[in-house]
């Protein structure tokens, strides 16, 4: 069983309209409260980033970063992660550091209250 539920296209649009985004040099993260009691994860990678192998690798790495941090995160949010061109060639540890940085800025960790 997956640790997350994927977002649908309309959910991406709603999340973007909240304008609640933070970014670093690797990724952009949008977060929106969803009233569901569990998190939903959306990943967006432009074709400008690279070929399908590179884009799919980024998606897998983001899902792994989410999986590694889900136990420490607040629940009931839609999370959209968007790749920036610098992500090409990033290792999992580097991406996880960027992912955790943005989660901290969004106050998404249980102990960030």
Tens digit of pLDDT for each residue in 17-26?
777 889 999 9
pLDDT band at 94 (very low <50, low <70, confident <90, very high): very high
Question: What span, in angstroms and rounded, lies between the C-alpha atoms of 9 and 36?
Answer: 17
Tens digit of pLDDT for each residue in 25-63?
999 999 988 888 888 898 999 999 989 999 999 999 999
As a CATH number, domain 5-108 is 3.30.230.10
Domain coordinates in residue numbering, the chain: 5-108
Which candidate, 66, 19, 18, places its Cα nearest to that of 38?
Answer: 66
Contact 104, 112 (CB under 8 A): yes
Write down the mean pLDDT value for the chain.
87
């Amino acid at each position: 069983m997956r640790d997350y539920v994927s977002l649908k296209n309309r959910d991406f649009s709603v999340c973007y309209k909240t304008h609640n985004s933070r970014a670093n040099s690797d990724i952009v993260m949008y977060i929106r409260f969803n009233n569901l009691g569990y998190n939903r994860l959306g990943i967006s990678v432009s074709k400008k980033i690279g070929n399908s192998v590179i884009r799919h690798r980024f998606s897998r790495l983001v899902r792994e970063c989410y999986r590694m941090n889900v136990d420490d995160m607040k629940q009931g949010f839609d999370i959209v992660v968007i790749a920036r061109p610098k992500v090409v060639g990033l290792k999992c540890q580097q991406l996880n550091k960027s992912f955790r940085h943005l989660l901290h800025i969004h106050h998404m960790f249980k102990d960030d209250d």
